[in-house]
Amino acid sequence: MLSLFLPAGLLDYFDLVNHVSQETCFILFLEEKPSILQEYSHLHLHSKGFFPEVEDFPIRGKAVYLRVRRRRWEDPETGQTYSRDWDLVTSGTRITAEFVSFLKVLHPQT
């Protein structure tokens, strides 16, 4: 049911970890799934936490907020950090280009 209100394909990459219902809005807490990216599977990466949360995503004029936490990965041998390339995701899945643009504006690749 939740997938009816979220951008297409979002739940393929994120888990709903909490929700809050307030008088004027709903807040959905989404966390990127802890799967290491296929293109980095040859590296020995470990989770390096999350990027700052995305806090705003209006749905049909209603006050609905998505608190999205995107994962960062680090190669401990080099110190290089990695994250999912949302351009690749949008070309190979159902994630909408509009939502990818939303994520990229708020959290450019580092």
Number of domains in the chain: 1
How far, in whole angstroms, is CA 110 from its chain's centroid?
15
Could you tell me the residue range of the domain that residue 33 belongs to?
2-106
Q: pLDDT of 56-100, one tens digit each?
A: 556 555 666 677 777 888 888 999 988 876 554 444 444 555 555
Question: For residue 50, what are the β-bridge partners?
Answer: 71
pTM for the predicted model, two decimal places? 0.54
Q: What is the rounded CA–CA span in Å between residue 107 and residue 51?
A: 7
Q: pLDDT of 40-65, one tens digit each?
A: 888 888 888 776 666 555 655 566 66
Structure tokens at 45: 């990466």
Q: What is the rounded CA–CA span in Å between residue 35 and residue 78?
A: 20
